Amino acid sequence: MNKNNLFHDIHEECGIFGIFGHPEAANLTYLGLYALQHRGQEGAGICSSDGVKLYLEKSLGLVAEIFNEKVLRNLPGHIAIGHNRYSTTGSSTIENVQPLMATYSLGSIAIAHNGNLVDIDGLKSRLEKDGAIFQTTSDSEIILHLIARAKDGQVHERIANAVRQVRGAFSLLLMNEKELIAIRDPFGIRPLSLGQLKDAYVLASETCAFDLIGATYIRDIEPGEMLIIDENGARSIKIFNSVKKAHCVFEFIYFARPDSYIFDHTCVNTIRKELGRQLAREHPIDADIVIPVPDSGVPAALGYAEQSGIPFEFGLIRNHYVGRTFIEPKQSIRHFGVKIKLNPVREVLKGKKVIVIDDSIVRGTTSKKIVKMIRELGGAKEVHMRISSPPTVGPCFYGIDTPTRQELIASSHKIEEIRKYITADSLGYLSLEGLKKIIPNSDLYCMACFNCKYPIEFEHKKITQMELFS
CB count, 10 Å around CB of 153?
13
d(CA 414, CA 374): 24
With 0-12 / 13-18 / 19 or more C-beta atoms within 10 angstroms meaning exposed / middle / buried, residue 333 is exposed
15 CB-near residues (< 8 Å, 6+ apart) = 33, 36, 37, 38, 39, 40, 83, 84, 114, 204, 205, 206, 209
- The rounded distance, in Å, linking the Cα atoms of 63 and 79 is 19
d(CA 36, CA 30): 10
Give the separation between CA 197 and CA 108, rounded to whole angstroms. 26
**Residue 248 among known ligand-binding residues:** yes
Alpha carbons 45 and 81: distance in angstroms, whole number: 8
| Centroid of chain to Cα 251 | 7
47 labelled binding-site residue: no
Q: Confirm whether residue 452 is marked as ligand binding.
A: no
- Known catalytic residue: 208? no
- Closest CA relative to residue 276, chosen from 251, 300, 254, 250: 300
Nearest to 218 by CA among 196, 189, 241, 187: 196
**Per the residue annotation, which of 14, 208, 267, 452 is the catalytic one?**
14
Binding site members: 248, 296, 358-359, 396, 446, 449
Known binding-site positions for Mg(2+):
296, 358-359
Q: Which residues are annotated as a binding site for [4Fe-4S] cluster?
A: 248, 396, 446, 449
Residues classed as catalytic: 14
